[in-house]
Chain A
Amino acid sequence: MPAPQCASCHKGRAALRRPRSGQALCGTCFCAAFEAEVLHTVVAGRLLPPGAVVAVGASGGKDSTVLAHVLRELAPRLGISLRLVAVDEGIGGYRDAALAAVRRQAARWELPLTVVAYADLFGGWTMDAVARSTAGSGRSRSCCTFCGVLRRRALEEGARLVGATHVVTGHNADDMAETVLMNFLRGDAGRLARGGGLGSPGEGGALPRCRPLQLASQKEVVLYAHFRRLDYFSEECVYAPEAFRGHARHLLKLLEAARPSAVLDLVHSAERLALAPAARPPPAGACSRCGALASRALCQACALLDGLDRGRPRLAIGQGRRGRDEVGPATGTSQEREQVQPPAREAVPAVPTF
């Protein structure tokens, strides 16, 4: 049976069906449509003004690869310049391979690449060390909580190093939908109130962040990467099976099978959640230790690191605030922290309590 014709150019043979609309398109038309949609997202939301220096969070995975590629195509039209920032969390066997992919991409696209490592920024705490420290408590390790917070800080630091004015990440619509589901299931009203928009405008000292691929579904991202023959790293992080997000992801797959527009519906719902004022996060201030954006005295990254340094890794996770305000060992500024041998613990309680 002959393949149907492309619905938009009517010339080529259709090579795929768009997951959302079921429309048959040839490869070039699909890529063009995808790029047009991303362009529209950026322009309509006024996310990246002309002249911006944009730091692209590159992990080597499909989302950031596609993001970097599309932005590179659109850069002349938008009048922006790109820098790649890769974060090395120190996960053995996973991150090294991903970083190799990022380096290959940077070489091919001729974009400047900067790599920031947790080990340098956070006093020697790599994710493997964090995992070892949080293991054995009987509950889930919540490595992903640490990694997410620290990675955002690392990305910000990297962006500052290259002199960027905006930070973009490759979150797609599926990620946003999963986040909403996850936050609801965990009752995280603060994050629900904060999320949902197209990105934060950057309060306090933080750089404005946005997610241009936010309205593109994951399947389309994969299709785009396939048709443009992009080289990316596609394995899952070794700590991923422990994450709560896995449940939300599984649910999302089921929902999508039942109703294809479920992802977009969830994003629509998320944008319109109306939470009570008491549930909204307090206004942004500055962290007392590092000066970054924080809604409490310490920013989340400093609080987490504090807990790790004191041998009480769950200190800053969850609702419990016991012991958080105690004065820990003097950590000083970030330069001094680099010289401290990780994971240094002096005179802390023998058993981590929570």
Chain B
Amino acid sequence: MIWQVLEGLSRDSAKRLRFVPGVVYVDEGAACGQSPEDRAKTLAEMKLILQTVGFPWHIVALEEVFGLPPSVLRHLAQEPSGTKGAYKAAVDSFLQQQHAPAPGEEQLSQPGSQDPQGPAGLPTAAQTEAQAPTAAQTEALSRLFDSVKTLTAKEELLQTLRTHLILHVARTHGYSKVMTGDSCTRLAIKLMTSLALGRGAFLAWDTGFSDERHGDVVVVRPMRDHTLKEVAFYNRLFAVPSVFTPAIDTKAPEKASIHRLMEAFMLRLQAQFPSTVSTVYRTSEKLVKAPRDGNSGGPPGPRCLLCMCALDIDTADSATAFGAQTSHLSQMQPPTPPAEAPTTPCCSAGVGRAQGCCRGAGPCRREDPRASVIEQLCYGCRVNMKDLPSLDPLPPYILTEAQLRSQRASVLQEIQEYLIDSDDEVQTGES
């Protein structure tokens, strides 16, 4: 994709792309269990390639999630300020690298765009390279990933953290769009995987062309029309250099995680029915970003803490209510005291702790921080969290944001009766 962008920006292409690109590479070696020497070697290879590309680059290590601010999890509505400043910096760095100053001719200070890549794709370089991560952070990261029980949850957690990190880099450097290199095949696999993980409500955001969940920074997927085979041929024909880094699921057995299973299944089915991937892709184009019942006219509900989609836990739906109810009926003593007051008529016998986003009494909630975090997550993230026995190894920004939100919710509950019922006021009060 970076090569395509390079061509698109070059002087002699027919339709010139008009934006200021930068490249981001996230070094995930610690999560994958790589040794420091391997990571250094990979980084050196990456830098080599990135320098030939010539865009401003940023290398960040995944350990930096431990230093992220909680604002990453908030939905910011405005454009990131300081685009002009970043533009100038970009121009300066361009001149420093003595490449053709393409941005100099375009008087646009608007959308800068940034191309982050996954671990096995084209690498990116960091101009403003952060200092090497400290050993403590690396250890904290490996502890976090070791505490996750299943590979599925590990992969999901990795994706979440990576998204947040890239988002943060984009915001600090003033980029307003993030382009990812997901191809058609990968998106079809991702669609089926999300379906199996319980994220059916958010498929349009996860696999659509543009994903504006985070407000100011939009994630776009320009490569979604190209199949993996086409990409491979392109890379080969045009001698696009690439670096291979082992990912978190390299050499894992096929049945180890849902992602692997789905990938193997889709590729096998594709061999038998050659239209499988394109059929699934076409179905994904028919998905819209609206709640199913069409109550999109009302104010947006609370958002999931981790994936920032509107929460899809409904008190009236059948599957989640049933899941909670079976765990309640079968247990005489629920393991944690139910911290929420029952508000749902259908579960008349009381509510399990995964039920709804109801507001409990303040003191009860603080005794059970895990429940308060869990109730701010969407269904898919909740299922992932089940594989995480303790929430402590999570990066602090997640925990502080969770606590902030639950405090705000309880405060709002207390003053609810005094508020004049205007939707605007309520919305600015919540994060």
Tell me if B269 and A268 are in contact (CB < 8 A): no
A257 to B290, CA, bound (A): 32
> Closest CB-CB distance, A46 to chain B, in whole Å?
10
A8 surroundings in chain B (CB, below 8 A)? 330-332
| Interface 1/0 per residue, B149-170 and A, CB below 8 Å | 0101000000000000000000
> Closest CB-CB distance, A77 to chain B, in whole Å?
15
A273 surroundings in chain B (CB, below 8 A)? 200-201, 203, 287, 292
| Interface 1/0 per residue, B375-406 and A, CB below 8 Å | 00001100100100000000000000000000
A276 to B282, CA, bound (A): 12
Whether a CB of chain B sits under 8 angstroms from the CB of A41 is yes
> Closest CB-CB distance, B142 to chain A, in whole Å?
23
Whether a CB of chain A sits under 8 angstroms from the CB of B413 is no
- Indicate whether A184 sits within 8 Å of B330 (C-beta atoms), given known contacts A255-B258, A269-B201: no
A186 surroundings in chain B (CB, below 8 A)? 279
| B271-286 contacts to A (CB < 8 Å) | 276, 279-280, 282-283, 286
| A254-286 contacts to B (CB < 8 Å) | 254-255, 257-259, 261-262, 264-279
- Select which of B288, B321, B379 is within 8 A of A274 by beta carbon: B288
B346 surroundings in chain A (CB, below 8 A)? 40, 44
Interface-located stretch among B58-66, B73-81, B312-320: B312-320
Whether a CB of chain B sits under 8 angstroms from the CB of A333 is no
A18 surroundings in chain B (CB, below 8 A)? 330
A183 to B150, CA, bound (A): 28
A105 to B369, CA, bound (A): 52
Whether a CB of chain B sits under 8 angstroms from the CB of A302 is no
A41 to B200, CA, bound (A): 22
Whether a CB of chain A sits under 8 angstroms from the CB of B5 is no
| B314-354 contacts to A (CB < 8 Å) | 317-323, 325-327, 329-332, 346
Whether a CB of chain B sits under 8 angstroms from the CB of A149 is no
Tell me if A37 and B286 are in contact (CB < 8 A): no
Q: How many residues of B contact A (CB 8 A)?
A: 54
Tell me if B261 and A272 are in contact (CB < 8 A): no
A262 surroundings in chain B (CB, below 8 A)? 196, 258
A300 to B231, CA, bound (A): 42
| Interface 1/0 per residue, B288-328 and A, CB below 8 Å | 11111000000000000000000010000111111101110
- Indicate whether A40 sits within 8 Å of B325 (C-beta atoms), given known contacts A258-B257, A269-B199: yes
List the A residue with the shortest CB-CB distance to B268: A247
A266 surroundings in chain B (CB, below 8 A)? 195-196, 198, 200
A251 surroundings in chain B (CB, below 8 A)? 261-262, 265
Whether a CB of chain B sits under 8 angstroms from the CB of A192 is yes
List the B residue with the shortest CB-CB distance to A261: B383
A187 surroundings in chain B (CB, below 8 A)? 279-280, 282-283
A40 to B286, CA, bound (A): 34
Whether a CB of chain A sits under 8 angstroms from the CB of B90 is no
> Closest CB-CB distance, A239 to chain B, in whole Å?
19
Candidate in B192, B196, B199 with the most chain A CB atoms within 10 angstroms: B196
> Closest CB-CB distance, B221 to chain A, in whole Å?
18
Tell me if B326 and A278 are in contact (CB < 8 A): no
A41 to B332, CA, bound (A): 21
Interface-located stretch among A19-27, A200-208, A345-353: A19-27
The main secondary structure of chain A at its interface with chain B is: helix
A41 to B329, CA, bound (A): 13
Whether a CB of chain A sits under 8 angstroms from the CB of B256 is yes
The main secondary structure of chain B at its interface with chain A is: helix
Whether a CB of chain A sits under 8 angstroms from the CB of B11 is no
Whether a CB of chain A sits under 8 angstroms from the CB of B84 is no
> Closest CB-CB distance, A297 to chain B, in whole Å?
24
Give the tally of cross-chain contacts (CB within 8 A): 151
Tell me if B201 and A7 are in contact (CB < 8 A): no
Whether a CB of chain A sits under 8 angstroms from the CB of B204 is yes
| A186-232 contacts to B (CB < 8 Å) | 186-187, 189, 192, 198, 214-215
Whether a CB of chain A sits under 8 angstroms from the CB of B88 is no
- Indicate whether A272 sits within 8 Å of B323 (C-beta atoms), given known contacts A8-B330, A187-B280, A261-B383: no
Tell me if A259 and B203 are in contact (CB < 8 A): no
Whether a CB of chain B sits under 8 angstroms from the CB of A180 is yes
> Closest CB-CB distance, B410 to chain A, in whole Å?
28
List the B residue with the shortest CB-CB distance to A44: B346
A255 to B288, CA, bound (A): 26
A271 surroundings in chain B (CB, below 8 A)? 200, 292, 317-319
B312 surroundings in chain A (CB, below 8 A)? 272
A10 surroundings in chain B (CB, below 8 A)? 332
B283 surroundings in chain A (CB, below 8 A)? 184, 187, 189, 192
Tell me if B327 and A21 are in contact (CB < 8 A): yes
A279 surroundings in chain B (CB, below 8 A)? 286
B329 surroundings in chain A (CB, below 8 A)? 33, 36-37
Tell me if B380 and A265 are in contact (CB < 8 A): yes
Tell me if B258 and A269 are in contact (CB < 8 A): no
Tell me if B288 and A254 are in contact (CB < 8 A): no
A41 surroundings in chain B (CB, below 8 A)? 318, 322
Tell me if A275 and B330 are in contact (CB < 8 A): no
- Indicate whether A181 sits within 8 Å of B195 (C-beta atoms), given known contacts A268-B319, A272-B312, A274-B204: yes
Whether a CB of chain A sits under 8 angstroms from the CB of B228 is no
A251 to B192, CA, bound (A): 11
Whether a CB of chain A sits under 8 angstroms from the CB of B197 is yes
A67 to B198, CA, bound (A): 27
List the A residue with the shortest CB-CB distance to B325: A40
> Closest CB-CB distance, B337 to chain A, in whole Å?
18
Tell me if B256 and A185 are in contact (CB < 8 A): no
List the A residue with the shortest CB-CB distance to B258: A258
A266 to B150, CA, bound (A): 19
A267 to B282, CA, bound (A): 22
Candidate in A7, A45, A215, A259 with the most chain B CB atoms within 10 angstroms: A259
| B165-204 contacts to A (CB < 8 Å) | 191-192, 194-201, 203-204
A-B contact pairs, 11 of them (CB 8 A): A44-B321, A44-B346, A214-B318, A259-B258, A269-B194, A269-B196, A271-B200, A272-B200, A273-B203, A277-B288, A279-B286
> Considering the complex of A and B, which 4 residue pairs feature the smallest CB-CB distances, nearest first?
A269-B200, A265-B198, A272-B201, A187-B279
Query: 8 other contacts beyond A259-B196, A270-B200, A273-B200, with CB at 8 A cut-off?
Result: A40-B346, A185-B192, A258-B256, A259-B152, A262-B258, A266-B195, A269-B200, A274-B291
